[in-house]
Structure 1
Amino acid sequence: MSEDLLSFASPAIDETARRLPGTDTSAMALVLLLTRVASGLTYDLESTVHRPAGWSWSAWRLLFTLWISGPVESRRAAELSGMSRAAVSSLANTLVGAGLLERAAGEGDGRSVVLSLSERGSAAVAETFRAHNAREAQWAGLLDPAELATLTTLLGRLADAAHAADWIKRR
């Protein structure tokens, strides 16, 4: 991860507080660092694991979602993967063409589409997950076990609270 990506946070917080007194710098630090670490982590996983496997981060998100959930309507796949329906539809075309995904008409509504992994897609996700998880372990290893447990607990609490908040915009 680029040193500039994370080292920018501290001066950005300080300068914002100087220019805009009253800024909630604790909230700013949380969001700025969280998004920058997440971006760096995503870039690292995509460049070291997923691009070499032949797909993008978005493709991985959709493939992994279907690997976990099993066949689901494309609308539900979009919700579970955090992607737009249009992005899932476009990506599904590419992944069907690559032989990783299968598409079938949904029951009940002639317009709905059910997405599922092909046998080849399921095997590819399982194989790639091994490399993905090894890289996750490297990232997790940057913290000691107590720090990792605390961070995981806190992120889970933040995720649960955000899920329950009615003011947060979702896809």
Structure 2
Amino acid sequence: MTGRHTVEQTELAVLAKLGQVPLLRAQMAAVANIHRAAAAVRQHLENSVLRGAQLSWTSFVVLWVLWIWGEMETRYIAEEAGISKGTLTGVARTLESRGLVERSDHPSDGRMVLLRLSPAGEELMAELFPRFNQEEAFVSGALSDEECEQLAGMLRRIVGTLERDGEARRAELAEAAPPPPRPGGRRRREG
């Protein structure tokens, strides 16, 4: 449980609050439970296997991206990890100070930075990931292997929709109601 209330209590409270509002309730429940499940899983993994390695979720994801894909430009690491380049800068500095990642200049563009796992980072991931996977098995233990595959497939379809159509949808929504200026008066860049 990620909050004071169970999923069932939350769904009943939402129904009581919004019962008369015409909503797509099944879709609302699906997205709310994706969020709640993701937060609960993240919290469990941070407070179990990642705590022992002194890693935040974001640090682990950055290490995972580098472990799987190898050396990459920072902009692509941030994209793969689902974080901003600014967040990656802080995470990379921390991981570098711990000797888990190494940075180098891009061979053809001095403005770009490459990151890779250090030998210590490779060793950590090889030792850590089997324990991480055991916790993945724990959190999905109420599901059969077939149900896990079905769930993974459904979630892939949701992600695929956003990857394929999300940018156009956001542009459509912004055109209908442009977003307000950012705090501090900065405006979003066009295009």
Q: Same fold (TM over 0.5)?
A: yes
> Displacement, 1:17?
2.5
CA distance in 1, matches of 2:143, 2:124: 30
* Larger of the two Rg values belongs to structure: 2
CA distance in 1, matches of 2:126, 2:94: 19
DSSP-derived class of the 2:107 partner: coil
CA distance in 1, matches of 2:55, 2:6: 24
DSSP-derived class of the 2:83 partner: coil
CA distance in 1, matches of 2:13, 2:169: 27
CA distance in 1, matches of 2:170, 2:49: 32
> Could you list the runs of 5+ residues in structure 2 that have no partner in the other structure?
172-191
**RMSD, aligned CA:** 1.7
Residue type at the aligned position of 2:5: D
Give a deviation string over 1:19-63, Cα, whole Å, max 9, x none.
x52122112101111100110000001110111111111100101
Of structures 1 and 2, the one with the larger relative CO (CA 8 A, separation 6+) is 1
CA distance in 1, matches of 2:6, 2:63: 28
What is aligned with 1:90? 90
What is aligned with 1:105? 105
How do 1:138-157 and structure 2 match up within 5 A?
Answer: 138-157=138-157
When residues 33 and 12 of structure 1 are mapped into structure 2, their CA distance, relative to the original with a 3 A threshold, is farther
Residue type at the aligned position of 1:128: L
Q: After TM superposition, which residue ranges in structure 1, 4 or more long, deviate above 3 angstroms?
A: none
What is aligned with 1:7? 8
What is aligned with 2:53? 53
What is aligned with 1:64? 64
When residues 26 and 108 of structure 1 are mapped into structure 2, their CA distance, relative to the original with a 3 A threshold, is same
Aligned length, in residue pairs: 168
Percent identity over paired residues: 31
DSSP-derived class of the 2:102 partner: strand
Give a deviation string over 1:58-104, Cα, whole Å, max 9, x none.
10010111001100011111011111000111111111110000000
Cα contact 1:74–1:88 (8 A) shared by 2: yes
What is aligned with 1:167? 169
> Displacement, 1:16?
3.8
> Displacement, 1:168?
4.9
CA distance in 1, matches of 2:76, 2:145: 35
When residues 101 and 5 of structure 1 are mapped into structure 2, their CA distance, relative to the original with a 3 A threshold, is farther
